[in-house]
Structure 1
Amino acid sequence: MSELSDLAEIQSFLAQSLKEQCPPLRVRKEGPGGLEVCGRKETMQGKQKVDGYYFASTAAKPKDIRFYFFPIYTDPELFQLSEGLQKMLKGKSCFHVKKLSEEQQAEIRKIIALGVNRYNEKELI
């Protein structure tokens, strides 16, 4: 692993990190613009029945890659982010990623796994 600064490489890393958790997650959408992963069982999300509880997605933008990570929104107390990742977090659950150090890549893999474990505990996925 080395530092990633090419947006296509960052997109690929994030997509691969999410796909490593399939199953219990599954890919709902995938294309050149990004990836979305969700749970595998029907559940209520708000007032709507969905085919899998939303977990995370990526979106390619001209200047960065957006990484939307829902577990940090539903269970913020679970995640203690490094200063580097904290700076990328815009709002409650959206990271704007322009480059990733090796440490940040390892941290992202760790928080994804932590989110999967929490959603399994809650029987959401």
Structure 2
Amino acid sequence: MALKLSKNSGLTDIISTDGTNPLTTQHPIGGSTVEARVWLFNDNSAKRYESITIDPTDSVSTDESTWVALAPDNAGVAGTYLAAGAALSMANISDSNVGKPFWVKITTPSVGSTQNKTDIKLTVNYTEYAV
């Protein structure tokens, strides 16, 4: 398969690429910040991955990818967050079904009325190799 993202350390709550099980946060219309710990993992022992980046993306106008900041995991807490919208580099992954945690911080501005944003994504880029 490929690298996957999970909402839990057991790697059973897989974040879907088709929108059926997204990473979700809730914010008041006055704006707020919400953090979530997410796990990246390889589900195929016949593959390994290098040059891994996780990039907040928004392909639909307007671009709100800067609402998202990423940070490495530091022993169960968020490390230093990168600039909003910046891609996070991850270590190479040569094992399978072992979660590699990182943090996602979503900061929303004040808005006039309630809305759902479904076009902001975490795009995982990598180079895949056979083992």
Same fold (TM over 0.5): no
Name which one, 1 or 2, has greater alpha-carbon Rg: 2
Relative to its length, the structure with more helix (as a share) is 1
Q: TM-score, structure 2 length as denominator?
A: 0.29
Using CA pairs under 8 Å that are at least 6 residues apart, name the structure with larger relative contact order, 1 or 2: 2
Relative to its length, the structure with more strand (as a share) is 2
Q: TM-score, structure 1 length as denominator?
A: 0.30
